[in-house]
Amino acid sequence: MTAFAAVPTTLWLLLAAGPFLFLAAFVGLSVWMSGHGVAPAQIPDRVTARLPHILTGVLVVVGLLLASQSAVVGHAWRLPTDRGWLVAGTLAGLVAGLALAVVYLRVLEPGLARLQSLVGDYVPPGSVLPAVSGNLRWFFVANVLLAPLVEETLYRGVALPVLTAHLGPATAVVMSCLLFGLLHWAGGLWYMLLTGLVGGGVFAALFLWSGHVAAPYAAHLALNLVEWGHAAWRGPRR
């Protein structure tokens, strides 16, 4: 039996659920719009405009699937008894998340749009921000309330220790980053790689350094909260 085959099937299914549900939602919504008289040329923009709603639904379903594995989730959120180390790790996560947010907004986001324009992508350059800022309330629910909790529980708290046990730490980090990036495929190829390698790499490093999921959760929360504030500031208020 190979090391990959030794990884529990349940984990692979959990990791595949998010990307698959996104695909199913995009396809299903496109088919529904086509059947209700929406012009084919308008469907991609109409579906993209529903991105905050789709993201919320996907995260709710993945969260419920995780909740069905209560013992695994409980182990993932087994925090250190040393309160000083817990606080230190959480504060380090907040600082790392804020720093990552600054780097993303000042460097990575403009670089991403430039890369999409020069090299190409399967989504138009700069198309994600208008989609999410068009419905800020749903985007807050999805990106601030749900995403840090669900994604850190799954990718760092649950997946990373299991993958490490079967594949070794280096391969486990790479796999967790790639799978985390795959969850964000709706944002385009370059956004998927950026999210997986940069965001996933920082969150994985925080988890391995601190030994608990509160550190990457705090970083993810800080990053997404700043991202939401940026969308609210630049986009339409709805």
Band of pLDDT at residue 235, cut at 50, 70 and 90: low
Cβ within 8 Å of residue 74, ≥6 positions away: none
pLDDT digits (tens, 9 = 90+) for 80-99: 999 999 999 999 999 999 99
pLDDT of residue 236: 54
As a dihedral over the C-alpha atoms of residue 57, residue 60, residue 65, residue 66, rounded to 10 degrees, the angle is 140
% of the chain residues with pLDDT over 90: 82
Q: Which of 180, 161, 158 is nearest to 69 (CA)?
A: 158
Burial class (CB in 10 A: 0-12, 13-18, 19+), 55: buried
pLDDT digits (tens, 9 = 90+) for 174-231: 999 999 999 999 889 999 999 999 999 999 999 999 999 999 999 999 999 999 998 8
Radius of gyration of the chain (CA): 18
Q: What is this structure's pTM?
A: 0.94
The pair of structure tokens assigned to 210 is 């601190």
pLDDT at 44: 87
pLDDT tens figures, 24-67: 999 999 999 999 999 999 998 889 889 999 999 999 999 999 99
Residue 233 has pLDDT above 90, yes or no: no
Would you state the pLDDT for residue 238?
A: 46
**pLDDT(75) > 80:** yes
pLDDT computed for residue 126 by the predictor:
76
114-126 pLDDT, tens digit each: 999 999 998 888 7
